[in-house]
Amino acid sequence: MEKKKAPSPMAWVLGQAGAHRPQFLLAVVLAVVGVAFSVAPYFVVIGIVRGLMEGNKELSFYLTRCLVMALLWLGRVLFHAFSTATSHKATFAVLGEIRKRCMEKLTRMPLGAVLAESSGALKNTLIERIDSIETTLAHIVPEFTANLLVPIIILIYIFCVDWRMGLATLVTVPLGLGCYIFMMVGSAGFYERSVTATKALNDTAVEYIHGIQVIKVFGKTKSSYDRFVRGAFEASHSFIDRMRASILPMTFAMVIMPATMVSVLPIGGLLVKGGSLSPEDFVTVIILSVGIIAPLITLMSYSDDLRTMGTIFGEVRSILEAPEMDRPESGNAPEGNRLTLDHVHFSYKDKEVLHGVSMDIPEGSFVALVGPSGSGKSTIARLIASLWDVDAGSISLGGTDIRSIPQDAYADKIAFVSQDNYLFNMTVRENIRLGRPEATDAQVEEAARRSGCHDFILSLENGYDTLVGASGGHLSGGERQRISIARAMLKAAPIVILDEATAYTDPENEAVIQRSVSELTRGKTLIVIAHRLSTITDADKIYVVKDGRIEDSGTHEELLRHHGLYETMWKAHMEVKDNA
């Protein structure tokens, strides 16, 4: 099948206008009228000059025309202001919608595709790149169109006056275009370099800020700061080198293309001298040739924006057009909550990490996943949570493949707490309430009490109304985990996944959490990935994962009798516990 041709950058961005297209059309019309008002005074000047040439000495004749020019100029200012206001109002509405669609798109993309991009690069695309579209929509669409259309109309008028003078007016255009084309040679590479360098700088800055504690503790301030300095140097010089390479051809293009008088004056003078062009028409052409200079310069001022448009829009499109997880938009989840993994294969960055994993998790059971670090336990948990799609095989809920269940309907079935707990820079109460937005304060506090974090929350400066800081930075790792567990418990989903959820808690708090988890998950399906094997000895079934495969399964006692990997891990765990 023939591959569908991608739309041009301008066609793509105009396609994003959607319901706001009438506003952009109005902005273009207003801009055209505004530019027309800026050119109209030149026709008035033609009348004044012709009056002088004809010997008209009436003061009112000239004063009236001067007043008309003032009104035309006022009209130009007003219509330009109306056009700009209209285009900007529509543009910022469109940018908001694009940014919203990008954020929604990230939720529909596989987790691996999102994690493949650094946070600095995504931030750069979602903020700076989308903001860059403002120039195209708010300025290039109306102003470029108007400043291109009006000179064309003037040139047609000049050709109607005298076709030879029309050609004379265009003499400098090929030369200016030649300089412009020369400037464009290699511009894509220069801009691509600047984009790459800016992304690298953003990544380095984010890494430097997030790792400032490690940098200070291990005395790596100079080396880490040097990385940031090198990134800043490369980013700045990517722009400097681009400007250095284009400044001369750009200057010549800006000087030569609008220099209509260079050809109009000598050619027109010769035609007047030969008697084939009247002095009045000669004056008309001179004045109108001057009138198209300003629009031409305005057109060329957008050259840099036009050069970078493809790269800017390409980055935004890479998010909006990225492959999504295949899920229906409507429908309901099945009544049953039995989970079945049938010969699941999964690859991450073209490397298969799960090789035919099969599991059966009955509704209401307590299942644990154990195994060495990097064996694939967290990948299995994330596949069950529908954060990724399997490459082969299937995961079913209540006998229905989860890929045929709407994402929102399936998400209502799952409460997921990972080892990397993220809290938003909101109050403790608001972070817990994310589990169930309609929950009352009493329900939030009850979930916190049952999850063992009520007392420490009350000890905070403002209790439940304490801001947790960016990523929960004002709290300890264990405190963040307990709040995350409270959030998951408040959701009251029938399936609860705990991925190393007690990794940073002390034994006393871990016991509290285990008791609360046992109480709150009674009658629910509980899937636990634990590094402390003593916490899952009463699991209905334990799956031992090694190198992306299920090596063994059974209860705690059954696995010990198998004398396999689980027994080795249990002995190592008990030795550590005894020596603690």
pLDDT band for position 2 (50/70/90)?
very low
Residues 6+ apart with CB under 8 A from 324: 105, 108, 109
In 495-565, DSSP assigns E strands to 495-499, 525-529, 541-546, 549-554
CA distances from 350 to 5, 183, 347, 354, 372 (A): 27, 40, 6, 12, 22
Among 14-23, 165-174, 193-202, the range scoring the smallest mean pLDDT is 193-202
Question: Which is nearest to 282 in space by CA: 266, 305, 306?
Answer: 266
Give 9-320's CATH code, choosing from 1.10.275.10, 1.10.10.10, 3.40.630.30, 1.20.1560.10. 1.20.1560.10
Pairing of strands 414-417, 400-401: unpaired
**Contacting residues for 546 by C-beta, under 8 A, at least 6 apart:** 371, 372, 375, 565
More confident residue, 232 or 358: 358
Alpha-carbon distance 123 to 114, whole Å? Answer: 12
pLDDT at position 6 is 60
**CA dist., res. 478 & res. 484, Å (int):** 10
Write the DSSP symbol of residue 54.
T
- Burial string for 202-240 (b: 16+ CB within 10 Å, else e) reads bbbeebbeeeeeebeeeeeeeebeeeeeebeebbeebee
Do the beta carbons of residue 392 and residue 344 sit within 8 Å?
yes
CA distance 372 to 259: 75
> Which ranges in the chain are annotated with CATH 3.40.50.300?
339-579
pLDDT band at 503 (very low <50, low <70, confident <90, very high): low
pTM to 2 decimal places: 0.67
Question: What pLDDT band is residue 118 in, cutting at 50, 70 and 90?
Answer: low
Joined tokens for residue 504: 């940073």
Range(s) within the chain of domains with CATH label 1.20.1560.10:
9-320
Q: 135: which 2 tokens?
A: 């120039």
State the Cα–Cα distance between residues 69 and 233, nearest whole angstrom: 51
- Which one is predicted more confidently, 251 or 1? 251
User: How would you classify residue 472: left for phi > 0, otherwise alpha for psi between -120 and 50, otherwise beta?
Assistant: left
Give the pLDDT confidence of 313-364 residue by residue, as tens digits: 777 887 888 888 878 888 788 888 899 999 999 988 778 999 999 999 999 8
Share of the chain above pLDDT 70, in %: 86
- Parallel, antiparallel, or unpaired: how do β-strands 414-417 and 495-499 relate? parallel
Q: Is the model's pLDDT at 514 over the cut of 70?
A: no
- pLDDT in the model for residue 287: 86
Tell how far CA 192 is from the center of its chain. Answer: 18
Question: What letter would DSSP give residue 427?
Answer: B
Helix, strand, coil abundance in the chain, percent, nearest 5: 65, 10, 25
238-258 pLDDT, tens digit per residue, is 777 777 777 788 788 778 877
Look over the chain and give the mean of its residue pLDDT values, rounded to a whole number: 82
**What one-character-per-residue DSSP string does 363-386 give?**
TT-EEEEE-STTSSHHHHHHHHTT
> pLDDT class for 176, splitting at 50, 70, 90?
confident
Q: How far apart are CA 110 and CA 515, in angstroms?
A: 34
For residue 159, the surrounding DSSP H or E stretch is helix 145-161
User: How confident is the model over 60-89, as a mean pLDDT?
Assistant: 91
The arithmetic mean of pLDDT across residues 391-395, rounded, is 92
State the pLDDT confidence band at 386, using cuts at 50, 70 and 90.
confident
Residues 33, 75: Cα–Cα separation, whole Å:
9
Domain 339-579 class, CATH top level: alpha beta
The tens digit of pLDDT for each residue in 259-294 reads: 888 888 899 999 998 889 888 888 888 888 887 877
